Amino acid sequence: MFFNEFKYFIISTLRAKQLILWLILFPMVMGILFKLAFNGLTEKQFSFKAIPTAVVEVKENSIFREVIKGVSEGDDPLLKVRYTDKEEAENLLIKGDIEGIIFVDDTISLTVAGSDMEETILKAFTDRYLTQEKLITDTAKKDPTKIPAMTKAMSDEIKVLDEEPIEASSNDRYITYFYNLLAMVAACSSVTGLSVVTETEADQSPLGARKCCSPTPKLISTLAVLLGSWAVSAVCMVISVSFLAFVLKIGFGSRLPLVYAGGILGSITGTSMGYMIASLVKGSYEKKNAVAMTVSLGGNFLSGLMVAEIKPVIMEKLPLLNELNPSAVICDSFYYLNIDSGYERFIGKMLTLAAMTAIFTAIGFIFTRRKKYASI
């Protein structure tokens, strides 16, 4: 009897086109949009490239010219310099072709168009030149014999810093949007979880009424529908992960099987959440559906699906909310697979999801058992 109910639940669920649209097609469309919009954006936004700068020489300064030459040549140049007149330089700056204009007169001055990091680096460069000039001038006044030693100290190539970049499977800041997309698929699986109640409760649907008066024990019937909805949502998740990994080539790294595992467990949690919501919210299917969608999308908002910046704010200011939000937990599990070399934090998130699933399912069972109907 169990397998009969299980089989027919899956068949009837797959025939509901809306489920296919929301759990398979919508994530695919969103994935394509994210891919188009965020492709290469991290590199464009963060990667350091030589800063395009114009130099306008009002007065000749051979030392500064040498310094400029030094920083605009080599493998890792700081500036990409072009010498030009004031008018052309200003035109270039307004058009956005350069980040700043260095004016070489009696002193060095700078004209910029904004206050971003590029402009700050330009200012740091000119400040450095002026600092060295000041140190030499001050020393020349005090003790000119020290100038050679001082110049040597300032011009020596030094390496004061050991850089230790954090190794991650993907250094793409925007990859979190794809994690959130999978978390959305999992959270929206709650809609399939609603069926566990609406298809087994006599006051919810004619099918529920039919099942309640059938000789099949309620536990068997409920378990069959619950496992069926877990299976359907897990399949939707597998399709979504496969689409992102193999069609859109999202960098999930070498731990793809674990991404599948995390996604499947997440979708099971989402489905159980739907079961719990349906058992707690009294009323029509539409009402239960509205609550499930609000909770799911609210969770997705807090985990950064709509505005990515909200995620770190909640991680820092309200860590407990981040631990209790199923969407955030799913999203974090993928993120830890990306950033950590070990598995500790990933396993922690998996255990949290398993615990959530157990609690949601238990609440669902408690609130749906032993129901009697005076009338339906």
Per rule CB under 8 A, is residue 94 in the interface with other proteins? yes
**Candidate residues 1, 154, 290, 358; the one interacting with other proteins per rule CB under 8 A:** 154
Cβ distance 262 to 44 under 8 Å? no
Per rule CB under 8 A, is residue 95 in the interface with other proteins? yes
Nearer to other proteins, 179 or 230 (CB): 179
* Residue 159 Cβ vs other proteins, minimum distance, rounded to whole Å: 6
Per rule CB under 8 A, is residue 34 in the interface with other proteins? yes
Cα separations in angstroms, 217 against 170, 200, 221, 319, 369: 50, 11, 6, 43, 11
Helix runs in 285-372, H state only: 285-302, 310-317, 319-324, 326-339, 344-368
Helices 310-317 and 326-339, packing angle to 10 deg: 100
Per rule CB under 8 A, is residue 109 in the interface with other proteins? yes
* Residue 244 Cβ vs other proteins, minimum distance, rounded to whole Å: 16
Per rule CB under 8 A, is residue 70 in the interface with other proteins? no
Distance of CA 77 to the CA centre of its chain: 32
> Interacting stretch for other proteins, rule CB under 8 A, among 165-173, 224-232, 267-275, 283-291?
165-173
Per rule CB under 8 A, is residue 38 in the interface with other proteins? yes
Per rule CB under 8 A, is residue 48 in the interface with other proteins? yes
* Residue 17 Cβ vs other proteins, minimum distance, rounded to whole Å: 9
Handedness of CA 146, 150, 153, 155 (dihedral sign): negative
In eight-state DSSP terms, residue 375 is: -
Cβ distance 301 to 133 under 8 Å? no
> Interacting stretch for other proteins, rule CB under 8 A, among 29-37, 198-206, 233-241, 246-254?
29-37
Q: Quick count: other Cβ atoms within 10 Å of Cβ 30?
A: 18
Nearer to other proteins, 344 or 370 (CB): 344
Per rule CB under 8 A, is residue 258 in the interface with other proteins? no
Nearer to other proteins, 11 or 313 (CB): 313
Q: Residue 271: enclosing H or E segment and its boundaries?
A: helix 256-280
Provide the token pair at 193. Answer: 């979880």
Per rule CB under 8 A, is residue 287 in the interface with other proteins? no
Per rule CB under 8 A, is residue 344 in the interface with other proteins? no
Per rule CB under 8 A, is residue 141 in the interface with other proteins? no
Per rule CB under 8 A, is residue 311 in the interface with other proteins? yes
**Candidate residues 70, 96, 217, 283; the one interacting with other proteins per rule CB under 8 A:** 96
The residue type found at 264 is I
Q: How many residues are there in the chain?
A: 376
